Amino acid sequence: MQYSQLGQTDLEVSRICLGTMTWGEQNTQQEAFAQMDYAITQGINFFDAAELYPITPKAETYGQTEIIIGEWFKARGNRQDIILASKVAGPADGWLPHIRDEATRCFDRQNIEAALEASLNRLQTDYLDLYQLHWPGRKTNFFGKLGYKHDPEDQPVPIEETLSVLNDIVKTGKVRHIGLSNETPWGVTRFLHAAEKHDMPKIVSVQNPYSLLNRSYEIGLAEISIREQCGLLAYSPLGFGVLSGKYAGGARPEGARITNWPDYNRYMNDEAVAATEAYVALARQHELDPAQMALAFINRQDFLTSNIIGATNLEQLKSNIDSINIELSEEVISGIEAIHKQHPNPSP
């Protein structure tokens, strides 16, 4: 395993992070335990969760992922060996009515403190190593939205106020470090500026989508990550599994995410399908596993802190973790860039 410094902290996190969002929905507790047990044998010391999980979010399973992780900590007694991240859900325009009060959920003191206490209880721990805002508290372009359309009626909690709350919970010791997720360059720079201006905690990471089908992070955020030491935690590195090639030719494997939830089609538009076919063909031309090639491309980026991989079975997990050992040749990289030029960011 390879390791990266988490921001300017003294934490060294595994370059592969174990994603957890299938636990409690597509995976049972027993299966999740097996994944965590295997991951730590491979040198993974970084787990990423969220109060929202599992996916897809619904009242019946709300918080189950964190509950499963908490039970694993209780059974294994190894909380101190894991760098644990979770996230607080923000305003969501009606699609998360089961999380606190839908009408007043935002990144204010009441919501953040309540969410944190609930997560700590489910996780059976008294601290988080990294606490992240799951998405911006304002209306902007994230979750696949292109372009920014200003809403003059949008009145989000000011970034300085949210950061002040995060500052206070860091002081309590319940959170060691803070990060953002699904953020824009403007949002990241405003949090950095507010931290410097008011001597409050600096964000140490940005968890955004990044894959061969969505390299938009490179445009504005990559330089920020490097210069400000707040590296990318890449999620959806396989585009909901699409880049493995398992949906090729219209296939819908039993139990796969897009099979179960066809509305999750962000990575299945015509341009994305064409790009995926090209990437899969390139991998096979060079006798590479398509998923491992896609992950290895991410692993080599200098703005990356950790690549968040997820799996619904151990074979997938083993293959994904093994991507850390894959060195892509210049010929493969050239092939990837040629495909990217032909099909740039088909799934933003």
Q: What is the pLDDT of residue 256?
A: 79
Global model pTM greater than 0.85: yes
CB 192 within 8 A of CB 204: no
297: helix, strand or coil: helix
Query: Mean pLDDT, the chain, as a whole number?
Result: 96
In-domain check, residue 300:
yes
pLDDT over 70 percentage in the chain:
100
In-domain check, residue 71:
yes
In-domain check, residue 188:
yes
Q: What is the pLDDT of residue 258?
A: 81
In-domain check, residue 81:
yes
Annotated catalytic sites, by residue? 53
Residue 264 has pLDDT above 90, yes or no: no
Residue 192 has pLDDT above 90, yes or no: yes
In-domain check, residue 122:
yes
Label residue 340 left, alpha or beta by phi (over 0 means left) and psi (-120 to 50 means alpha): alpha
In-domain check, residue 348:
no
Helices (H), 175-289: 185-198, 217-228, 257-260, 270-285
pLDDT tens digit string along 302-347?
999 999 999 999 999 999 999 999 999 999 999 999 999 999 999 9
Domain count along the chain: 1
CATH number reported for the structural domain that contains residue 335 in this entry: 3.20.20.100
Q: What is the pLDDT of residue 148?
A: 93
Domain range spanning residue 87? Answer: 3-342
